[in-house]
Structure 1
Amino acid sequence: MSLFQEYKNSLKKIEVEELFDLYFYRPLAFLLVKAIYSTNITPNQLTVISMIFGILGGISYSFGTHMAFMVGAILYLLYNVVDCSDGQLARLKKNGGTVGRILDGIADYVVSVALYFGIAFGYANNLSDPLFWWIITAAAGFSNAIQSGLLDFYRTRYLDYVLVRVSVLDEGLKVFEEEFERLKNINGRYFDKAVIWIYLKYSAVQQKATNPKPEQEKIKAHISAEEYAQKNRLLIRLWTFLGPTTQWTFLIITSFLNRIDIYLLGILIVGNILAIIFYFLQSKADAALKLKSL
């Protein structure tokens, strides 16, 4: 197998990948994966390492100096590379597990929270109107979460239709429920039990909000993978511009420019305007396929 083919096998479908991931972070992550492939390092260990980089990045931003912002930016660059590598290693070694999938999601949330608290304490607190910038920071963090959530929903749905697979949420819940029941009969493994329990509670809420009604499932059965892809291929590419990697890259650039305000206002204003435009376009595409939007 050629190196390029091996790299492609480590990716999701190309159209759902963020451009910065595809052309920068994932190639670097692939080099890391190749370097450690023959070792005993696991995807979960890479996830924890990436989370450590992310938390340290948030702490660095809390110092509030230009140098601290640049150090934080480098740490977040490393975070993103290692964060990409855990999934690539799991796909190549075919050793991804239930806990690993959840741990990866938890790490993303923890790192995002660390960033915005770091900005709030290190940047907003040092401005002439700290309360205003605390509000801006909180609003940007909330917007970031919503934008990433929208991408995650539509990307997952795209893959469900195009790959003709059972909804990942439904299928995943069954797997995690079975794993949780199995672990309940085993002494120890408290970390694994806690992680899966948290995920099951979160997913139960998410499932109520996003799962289609029975009539929607009937509609899904009559939509071919080709038809869905044709209507949504461009849209899913547009959604990726609101993804976490694009936002991290924007943060890194503005940090080196010492303009965290541009990052916050960019996420809050430009990001939300794009989200509204993409949602409108997505609703039109969904209506044409008789699908229910979020």
Structure 2
Amino acid sequence: MAGNKEAILSSEKSDDTTDFLDRHVFEPISIVFSHIFIKLGIIPNVITVMSGIFGMAGGILLYFRDFKLNLIGILLEIMAYIFDTCDGQVARITKHCSRYGRMLDGFCDSLAFASMYFALSFRLMNEMIPFTNVYWGLYIWPVSIAAGYSHQRQSAMVDYYRNLHLFLLKKGKGSEFDRSSDLKAEIDSLKGHFAQKFLMKSYCSYTKGQEKASPALQRLLNSVDFENVTDSQWAEWAKRSRKHLWLTKFLAYHPKAIVLYASVLAGFHVVFFPIVIVFFGTLHLIMVSKYEKFANSCILEIEG
């Protein structure tokens, strides 16, 4: 097991893009499961689907006004996250990394979070609006839809900026930083592969949304000849990007999960949607602003 453990650890992404809980809690646990999956010959995509099933089942259990069921749901969500970490570890160590695997991973993550949002929304429909005698009813849906949309945009930009940082660290080689123009060309070349085409089109739309939210960064990417960027310039850009990564950690999985789990177990889950919209939404705007300023400063240096 020691050899596999060392190999898994060496395959991990940069510490820059992982937070304390990942490094010290979830990765040590997931290494054990990854070793088991490798021994059993279970491929990454199967682990991804298992993660999605756990996530959706856990989300559904948050609908019930039962502490034990809610706790089981939360434990299933935690197990889903561990498996979600495992699929990447197993993919990297067994050399089964693929864009389709990453797209499937994102799709399953979305289904898991959607199940939580739907469960909370249906649960709140039958509860009173705070400080009133009025049931939420259908009024909860505009709130939950706004929170879900905000959550999706936050997660998309966290993913984008983390991949950007890895792109800079790896000097443009072997990263998962995709451009929609490249994806569209691949989609056009696919013939008769419905499932692959569906995933690619969904991923391309997702990537376009990331690009639309970062116009200055797109101007930078379009103006640089990355083949001729010096090592010192790569290092300088990575250093500047690193300064803003703390924002991606605040907007990633763990902070939202902690707020969700704590509010559900305390019976005060009504606060979750407003916190996603207001608090995390504000952090999202700050994060995008910081990275756009970073991109503009790089453009000025290149043009100057």
Contact map agreement 2:121 2:141 (CA 8 A) in 1: yes
Contact map agreement 2:154 2:251 (CA 8 A) in 1: yes
Give me the whole-angstrom Cα distance separating, in 1, the residues matched to 2:141 and 2:213. Answer: 30
1:250 to 230, 242, 259: 259
Report whether the alignment pairs 1:21 with 2:22.
yes
Contact map agreement 2:160 2:210 (CA 8 A) in 1: no
Give me the whole-angstrom Cα distance separating, in 2, the residues matched to 1:65 and 1:147. Answer: 30
Shift of residue 139, structure 1, vs aligned partner: 2.2
Q: Pick closer, same or farther for the CA change 1:209–1:144 going to 2, 3 Å.
A: closer
Contact map agreement 1:169 1:207 (CA 8 A) in 2: no
Shift of residue 246, structure 1, vs aligned partner: 3.0
Give me the whole-angstrom Cα distance separating, in 1, the residues matched to 2:284 and 2:162. Answer: 14
Contact map agreement 1:33 1:89 (CA 8 A) in 2: yes
Give me the whole-angstrom Cα distance separating, in 2, the residues matched to 1:69 and 1:156. Answer: 34
Report whether the alignment pairs 1:129 with 2:135.
yes
Contact map agreement 1:64 1:123 (CA 8 A) in 2: no
Q: Pick closer, same or farther for the CA change 1:97–1:229 going to 2, 3 Å.
A: closer
Structure-2 residue corresponding to 1:199: 203
2:272 to 263, 267, 272: 263
The more displaced of 152-161 and 78-87 is 152-161
2:166 to 140, 159, 168: 159
Give me the whole-angstrom Cα distance separating, in 2, the residues matched to 1:276 and 1:198. Answer: 24
Q: Pick closer, same or farther for the CA change 1:74–1:38 going to 2, 3 Å.
A: same
Q: 1:209-220 maps to which residues of 2 (within 5 A)?
A: 212-213=218-219, 216-218=222-224
Give me the whole-angstrom Cα distance separating, in 2, the residues matched to 1:134 and 1:4. Answer: 45
Give me the whole-angstrom Cα distance separating, in 2, the residues matched to 1:205 and 1:284. Answer: 19
Give me the whole-angstrom Cα distance separating, in 2, the residues matched to 1:285 and 1:172. Answer: 23
Shift of residue 39, structure 1, vs aligned partner: 1.1
Superposed CA RMSD: 3.1
The more displaced of 108-117 and 192-201 is 192-201
How many equivalent residue pairs?
Answer: 286
The alignment partner of 1:28 has SS state of helix
Q: 1:22-171 maps to which residues of 2 (within 5 A)?
A: 22-127=23-128, 128-130=134-136, 131-165=138-172, 168-170=177-179
**1:68-125, Cα deviation, whole Å (9 max, x unpaired):** 3222211111111111110011111111234212111111111111111111002343
Contact map agreement 1:70 1:256 (CA 8 A) in 2: yes
Shift of residue 132, structure 1, vs aligned partner: 4.2
Structure with more contact order per residue of length (Cα contacts < 8 Å, sep ≥ 6): 1
The alignment partner of 1:37 has SS state of helix
2:248 to 239, 246, 254: 239
Q: Which amino acid aligns with 1:37?
A: I
Contact map agreement 1:10 1:89 (CA 8 A) in 2: no
Stretches of structure 2 that go unaligned for 5 or more consecutive residues are: 129-133
Contact map agreement 1:120 1:134 (CA 8 A) in 2: yes
The alignment partner of 1:126 has SS state of coil
Give me the whole-angstrom Cα distance separating, in 1, the residues matched to 2:184 and 2:141. Answer: 41
Contact map agreement 2:168 2:235 (CA 8 A) in 1: no
Give me the whole-angstrom Cα distance separating, in 2, the residues matched to 1:199 and 1:284. Answer: 26
Q: Pick closer, same or farther for the CA change 1:193–1:272 going to 2, 3 Å.
A: closer
Q: Pick closer, same or farther for the CA change 1:268–1:39 going to 2, 3 Å.
A: same
Give me the whole-angstrom Cα distance separating, in 2, the residues matched to 1:271 and 1:171. Answer: 27
The more displaced of 149-158 and 47-56 is 149-158
Q: Pick closer, same or farther for the CA change 1:280–1:196 going to 2, 3 Å.
A: closer
Stretches of structure 1 that go unaligned for 5 or more consecutive residues are: none
TM-score for both structures, normalised by structure 2: 0.80
